[in-house]
Chain A
Amino acid sequence: MRKIISFTIICTLVFICSCKDYLDVVPDNIATLDHSFNDRVGAERFLANCYSYLPNFGGAGSDPAILGSDEFWLHENESFYSQYYSMYGIDLKKNLQNVTDPLFNYWSSGNGGSKLFTGLRDCNIFLEKIGAVGDELSDADRTTWIAEVKFIKAYLHYYLLKLYGPIPLIKENLPISASVEEVQVYREPFDDCIDYIVALIDEAVPDLPLIVNSTATELGRITQPIALAVKAEVLVTAASPLFNGNADYTNVIDNQGRKLFIAEYDKEKWNRAMIACKNAIDTCLLGGHRFYSYRNPIYALSDTTQLLMTLRTVVTDKWNSELIWANSRNVVNVLERMAIPFFDKTQLSATNVSSNLAPTLNMAELFYTNNGVPIAEDNTYDYEGRYELTIAQSDHKYYISTGFQTPKLHLNREPRFYANLGFDGGIWYGNGRYNDVGVGASTTQPWVLLMKKGQTSGNTSNLKYSITGYYPKKLLHCETIHNPTTGGSPQQVRTTFPIIRLSDLYLLYAEAMNEYYEQPTAEVWEYVDIIRAKAGLRGVKESWSNHSINPGKPETKTGMREIIRQERLIELVFEGKRYWDLRRWKLAHTYYNQAVKGWNTDGAGNDFYIPKVLWTYTFGTKNYLWPIAETTLRADQNLVQNPYW
Chain B
Amino acid sequence: MKRRLRIIVMFQLLIFLSVVWANAQEITISGKVTAMDNSFLPGVTITVVGTTRGVITDNDGSYTIMAKSDDKLVFSFIGMDTQIISVGNQKILNVQMKEKTEEMDEVTVVAFAKQKKESVLASITTVDVGDLKIPSSNLTTALAGRMSGLISYQRSGEPGQDDASFFVRGVTSFSYASSPLILIDGVEMSSSDLARLQPDDIASFSIMKDATATALYGARGANGVIMVTTREGREGKAQISFRYETSFSSPTKDIDLANAITYMKLNNEAIVTRDPANGVELYSMEKIEKTASGANPNVYPATNWYKALFKEVTINHRANFNVSGGGKVARYYIAGTFNQDNGALNVDSKNNFNNNIDLKRYLLRSNVNINITNTTEAVVRLHGTFDDYTGPIDGGSALYSKVMRTDPVLFPAYYEADEQYKYTSHILFGNSGTGNYINPYADMVKGYKEYSKSVMLAQFEVKQKLDFVAKGLFFRGLFSTNRYSYFDVSRYYNPFYYSIGLYDKYTDKYSLACLNPTGGTEYLTYDPGDKTVNTTTYLEGTLNYSTTIAEKHDVSGLLVSTMRNYLTGNAETLQLSLPQRNLGISGRFTYSYDKRYFTEFNFGYNGSERFAKKERFGFFPSAGVAWFASNEPFWKNNLQKVITKLKLKATYGLVGNDAIGSSADRFFYLSEVNLNNSSKGFTFGEDFAYTVNGVSISRYENDKISWETARKMNLGMELGLFDDLEIQADYYTEYRTNILMSRQYIPASMGLQATPQSNVGEASSRGLDVSLDYQHNFKNGTWLAARANFTYAKSKYEVYEDLDNTTTPWLSRIGKPISQQWGYVAERLFVDDTEVANSPTQTFGDYMGGDIKYKDINGDDQITSLDKVPIGYPTEPEIVYGFGFSTGYKNFDLSCFFQGLAREAFWINSTTTAPFVDTDGSSGIISKNALLNVYADNHWSEKNRDVHALWPRLSDHLIENNTVTSTWFMRDGSFLRLKSLEFGFSIPKKKVEDIGIKQLRIYFSGTNLFVLSKFKLWDPEMAGEGLGYPIQKVYNVGLQVSF
Contacts and interface: CB of A to CB of B under 8 A. Distances in A.
Interface of A: 1, 3-4, 7-8, 11-12, 15-16, 19, 22-27, 30-33, 35-36, 42, 44-49, 51-52, 78-79, 82-83, 91, 94, 96, 98-101, 107-109, 115, 117-122, 168, 170, 173-174, 176, 178, 180, 183-185, 215-221, 318-319, 328-330, 349, 351, 487, 494, 630-632, 634-637, 639
B581 interface: yes
Given A79-B926, A216-B687, A122 B751 contact: yes
Given A23-B608, A36-B695, A221 B745 contact: no
B543 A49 contact: no
Contacts of A215: 685-686
A611 B674 CA distance: 55
B751 A118 contact: yes
Contacts of A12: 559, 561, 585
Interface in B664-681: 667, 670-671, 673-677, 680-681
Contact of A45 (B580, B581, B694, B866): B694
A188 to B, nearest CB: 12
Interface in B947-977: 957-958
B13 to A, nearest CB: 25
A217 B667 CA distance: 39
A388 to B, nearest CB: 26
B670 A26 contact: yes
A632 B675 contact: no
12 contacts: A4-B469, A4-B473, A8-B559, A19-B583, A22-B607, A23-B608, A23-B609, A33-B695, A36-B675, A52-B680, A82-B923, A122-B695
Q: Which 9 A-B pairs have the closest CB atoms?
A: A121-B751, A49-B694, A634-B803, A108-B748, A48-B692, A636-B747, A51-B682, A117-B751, A217-B690
Contact of A25 (B469, B541, B609, B926): B609
Nearest to A47: B692
Nearest to B555: A1
A183 B747 contact: yes
B498 to A, nearest CB: 17
Contacts of B865: 100-101, 630-631
A630 B746 contact: no
A634 B670 contact: no
B804 interface: yes
B670 A42 contact: no
B693 A216 contact: no
A81 to B, nearest CB: 10
Contacts of A79: 918, 926, 957
A328 B690 CA distance: 11
A42 B675 contact: yes
Contacts of B469: 3-4, 7
A216 B689 contact: yes
A4 B924 CA distance: 73
A119 B751 CA distance: 7
Interface stretch (B135-143, B240-248, B571-579, B883-891): B571-579
A4 B518 CA distance: 81
A216 B685 CA distance: 4
Nearest to B704: A177
A185 B581 CA distance: 42
A107 B574 CA distance: 33
Nearest to A38: B675
B843 A99 contact: yes
A45 B700 contact: no
Interface of B: 434, 469-470, 473, 518, 541, 543, 545, 557, 559, 561, 563, 574-575, 578-581, 583, 585, 607-609, 616, 667, 670-671, 673-677, 680-690, 692-697, 700-702, 744-753, 756, 803-805, 843-846, 864-866, 918, 923-924, 926, 957-958
A642 to B, nearest CB: 15
A52 B690 contact: no
Contacts of A101: 865
B667 A219 contact: no
A7 B470 CA distance: 11
B581 A329 contact: no
A503 to B, nearest CB: 22
Contacts of B843: 98-100
A47 B608 CA distance: 38
A172 B566 CA distance: 43
Contacts of A16: 585
A630 B557 CA distance: 59
B695 A45 contact: yes
A120 B751 contact: yes
Contact of B607 (A7, A23, A328, A351): A23
Contacts of A637: 804
Contacts of A176: 700, 702, 752, 756
Contacts of A122: 695, 751
B924 A83 contact: yes
B748 A109 contact: yes
Given A4-B545, A48-B692, A632 B748 contact: yes
A115 B581 contact: no
Given A25-B580, A45-B675, A45-B692, 15 more contacts: A3-B469, A7-B469, A15-B585, A23-B609, A45-B695, A49-B680, A100-B864, A108-B748, A115-B751, A121-B750, A122-B751, A185-B747, A216-B689, A328-B684, A631-B865
A45 B693 contact: yes
B182 to A, nearest CB: 23
Contacts of B749: 107, 117, 168, 170, 183, 185, 636
A221 B746 CA distance: 33
Contacts of B545: 4
A219 B686 contact: yes
A319 B684 CA distance: 11
A23 B581 contact: yes
A397 B692 CA distance: 48
A216 B434 CA distance: 42
Nearest to B865: A100
Contacts of A44: 692
Contacts of B677: 49
A107 B693 CA distance: 24
Given A82-B923, A220-B684, A25 B751 contact: no
Contacts of A180: 745
Nearest to B748: A108
A22 B563 contact: yes
B671 A45 contact: no
B519 to A, nearest CB: 9
Contacts of B744: 635
B866 A48 contact: no
B681 A45 contact: yes
B957 A11 contact: no
Contacts of A632: 747-748
B685 A15 contact: no
A630 B860 CA distance: 13
B934 to A, nearest CB: 25
Contact of B581 (A4, A22, A118, A494): A22
B673 A31 contact: yes
B212 to A, nearest CB: 21
Contact of A219 (B684, B745, B923): B684
A221 B681 contact: no
Residue among A23, A99, A329, A637 having the largest count of chain B Cβ atoms under 10 Å: A23
Given A22-B581, A25-B579, A48-B692, A11 B543 contact: yes
Contacts of B675: 31, 35-36, 42, 45
Residue among B681, B690, B751, B844 having the largest count of chain A Cβ atoms under 10 Å: B751
B747 to A, nearest CB: 4
B803 A52 contact: no
A318 B753 CA distance: 33
A174 B578 contact: no
Contacts of A185: 747, 749
A174 B677 CA distance: 25
Residue among B583, B697, B745, B957 having the largest count of chain A Cβ atoms under 10 Å: B745
Given A15-B585, A23-B583, A173-B751, A45 B684 contact: no
